Structure 1
Amino acid sequence: MGVFMNKIYVLINCKTGTVEEVRDAIAKIEGVSEVSSVTGRCDIIARLEGPNLNKLLVTVAREIHKVKGVEKTETLVAPDLDISDESQPVLKVI
């Protein structure tokens, strides 16, 4: 059994004219594995990865939210679950 890697995708809306600055600042944050400017309902998508889901969520709350130019975020969590263990409560729902 390998190390589980949780992923968080953060959809980020920026103040007008700050997308490049915000993208570059977020790319420097520990735990951020990828960040891209996009079109659509948000300006930037950032992906964070790591074995500790709580640490990733704290990074979003304490670091990404504080980047100058960030107006709003939506966080999507993709937990890495051991699907071979059917006793996990989440898997009972799935």
Structure 2
Amino acid sequence: MITAIVLVKASVDRIPEIAETIAALEGVSEVYSVTGTYDLVAMVRVRAHEDLADVIPGLLNKVPGVEQTETHIAFRTYSRHDLDAAFALGLDG
């Protein structure tokens, strides 16, 4: 699974509508409204790198109101669940 984090600048007066449209796209798992330089963060999860081209420039960037994007590709995923599993000793309470 390939994960991309897409930072999105959007038309401020249409952020909720733009976020809902992006969230409905195939390959987009979540969309967050955020503070800071960007308005939205979209999590894109696809099976192959080639699929990123279909989702990000092919669909997401074409959503009306999306003004600019910046994409980051994840190398590894770390989560609380993963860390707990990695450090678990397997001992009963």
Question: Which interval holds the TM-score relative to the shorter structure?
Answer: 0.7 to 0.9
Structure with greater proportional helix content: 2
Gaps of 5+ in 2: 77-93
Gaps of 5+ in 1: 81-94
Q: CA deviation at 1:58?
A: 2.5
CA-based RMSD: 1.2
Corresponding residue pairs, total: 76
Could you tell me which residue of structure 1 aligns to residue 28 of structure 2? 32
More displaced, 53-62 or 42-51? 53-62
Percentage identity across paired residues of the two chains: 37
Larger radius of gyration: 2
TM-score (norm 1): 0.75
TM-score (norm 2): 0.76
Moved over 2 A (4+): none
Could you tell me which residue of structure 2 aligns to residue 87 of structure 1? none
Q: CA deviation at 1:50?
A: 1.9
Corresponding letter in the other structure for 2:57:
A
